[in-house]
Structure 1
Amino acid sequence: MKIMYSQEEIGKRIKELRRKKNLSQSRIAETLFISQAAYSLIENAQNGISVEHIIKLSNLYQVTTDYILKGHKNLITMNRKNGFIPLVNVHAHAGFVKNISDEYFSNIEDWYRIPGFDPSKDQSLFEVDGDSMAPTVLEKDILICQLHKNLENILDGSAVVAIVEGKIMVKRIRKHSDGQYLVLESDNDNHEHHKPMLVKKAAIGKIWIIRGKLSSGLVPFHEMASKGKITSLEENLEMLKKEVYQMNKKLTALTSKR
Structure 2
Amino acid sequence: MKTREAIGKRIKELRKSRKFSQSFIAQKLFISQAAYSLIENSQNGIVAEHIIKLSKLYGIPADYILTGNKHLVEISNSSGFIPLVRAEAQAGFLKNYPDKENHQEYDWYRIPGFEPIEGQKLFEVDGKSMLPTIIPGDIVICEPQKEIDNTLEGSVVLAVLTDRILIKRFRVNPDPDVILLESDNPEDGELQEQNISRKELRELMLVKGKISSVLLAPDNKDFKGRIKSLEEVVDHLKQELAVMNQQINSLLKGGDA
Instruction: Provide TM-score, normalisation by structure 1.
Output: 0.77
Q: Does structure 1 conserve the Cα–Cα contact (< 8 Å) formed by 2:131 and 2:184? A: yes
Distance 1:189 1:51, change over 3 A: farther
Q: Shift in Å at residue 205 of structure 1?
A: 1.3
Alignment counterpart, residue 225 of structure 1, candidates 223, 226, 229: 223
- 1:238-257 equivalences in 2 (<5 Å): none
Deviates more, 1:143-152 or 1:227-236: 227-236
- Percent identity between the aligned chains? 47
Give me the CA root mean square deviation. Answer: 2.9
Output the CA distance in 1 between the equivalents of 2:40 and 2:224.
Answer: 69
Deviations 1:71-91 (A, max 9, x none): 111222222222222222234
Q: Shift in Å at residue 129 of structure 1?
A: 2.7
Q: Shift in Å at residue 164 of structure 1?
A: 1.7
Q: Shift in Å at residue 192 of structure 1?
A: 6.9
Specify the SS of the correspondent of 2:170. Answer: strand
Alignment counterpart, residue 126 of structure 2, candidates 119, 126, 129: 129
Deviations 1:163-210 (A, max 9, x none): 123322111121223233221222233347633211123332111111
What residue is the counterpart of 2:16 in the other structure? 19
Q: Shift in Å at residue 127 of structure 1?
A: 1.7
Output the CA distance in 2 between the equivalents of 1:202 and 1:79.
Answer: 31
Q: Does structure 2 conserve the Cα–Cα contact (< 8 Å) formed by 1:96 and 1:104? A: no
Q: Shift in Å at residue 6 of structure 1?
A: 0.9
Distance 1:199 1:231, change over 3 A: farther
Q: Which runs of 5+ in 1 are unaligned?
A: 237-258
Instruction: Provide TM-score, normalisation by structure 2.
Output: 0.78
Name segments (4+ residues, structure 1) moved above 6 Å: 233-236
What residue is the counterpart of 2:212 in the other structure? 215
Q: Which runs of 5+ in 2 are unaligned?
A: 235-257
Q: Shift in Å at residue 232 of structure 1?
A: 5.5
Q: Which amino acid aligns with 2:17?
A: K
Distance 1:31 1:233, change over 3 A: farther
Q: How many corresponding residue pairs? A: 233
